[in-house]
Amino acid sequence: MGNGDDPKQAIRCAIRSGIDAGNQALIIGVLSAQALRTPAAAVGVTVLRGRVRSIASTDLGKNLVQYIAAGSLGRAVYGAAAVNHVAKLLRSNAITSAVSLAVATAPDAYRAAIGDISWSQVAKNTAINGAGIAAGAGGWFAGTAAGAAIGSAIPIIGTAIGGVIGGICGGMMGGVVGASSARMVLDPFIRDDSDRMIILLHDAIGALASDYLLSKREVAELMTEVRRTVSDSWLRDMYRVGSSGDSDIDRRQFAYYYFERACQRIVRRRSKVRLPDLDQVLSAVSDALPPNSKSRKRR
């Protein structure tokens, strides 16, 4: 509704988005569960257990491992039990993150294969998603440890609740910061396909306004039609037109011809212009002449 859609259309979009998110979560859950049963996952726990044991060899590391385990399990855990649990958490988190990245990248790879987006856009999206997932996972571990530590000092909250709250907040903040930072770094080097198409669209709209001699009001009317029409799928259609030869000329012409019909409708609504008859022209010319020239003309 915020984009100008009617309530029924907005509800349909919300339902569609919810179904897509649910399907994606289901696929990630199934694939992650299957991956966790593989021999490689068991080897991963063994390798990570040694890393976690090394971290827990210091006082600070031991407290960190114990707080993460306590925040995850909801009860105090010490020694080897805490090390084993954190190692399994790291293993599960790494596999889930890898599966999530693969699932998020698959639609982009398919669109690039059929020419809807560029492979550079796929690489950029993958890097941004990967940074967001990795930072979110790191934020969850840090938030869980911090929340469990704070919660253990507050009787009302407790270790379990503090760990859950801290993990959620840390994961969300980490994911947002990681994805935003990655986009900020990559934007100067890789321009989004949508940004390139918008620039070409502006060129086409400017050419239409010039060719049809549109007034300011008519340009505003055309832009209303443009905003109503342009979407992610429309921009992908525009990109596909020139994907075979990577020709921006074809894409600009696509936008020009697409909105030319709107310009023609706008022009047809203009009021009719009729030429004045000869008497009106002479009268207007006479009124425009200075008084002295009129008197000299009479003499």
> How much is the pLDDT for 165?
87
> How much is the pLDDT for 46?
85
> How much is the pLDDT for 213?
92
CB atoms within 10 A of CB 228: 12
Q: Which amino acid is at 291?
A: P
| Spans of the chain, pLDDT less than 50 | 1-2, 297
Closest CA to 207 of 138, 241, 255: 255
> How much is the pLDDT for 205?
95
> How much is the pLDDT for 14?
78
> How much is the pLDDT for 209?
94
CA distance 239 to 229: 15
Give the pTM: 0.79
Tokens 């010039």, residue located = 210
> How much is the pLDDT for 291?
66
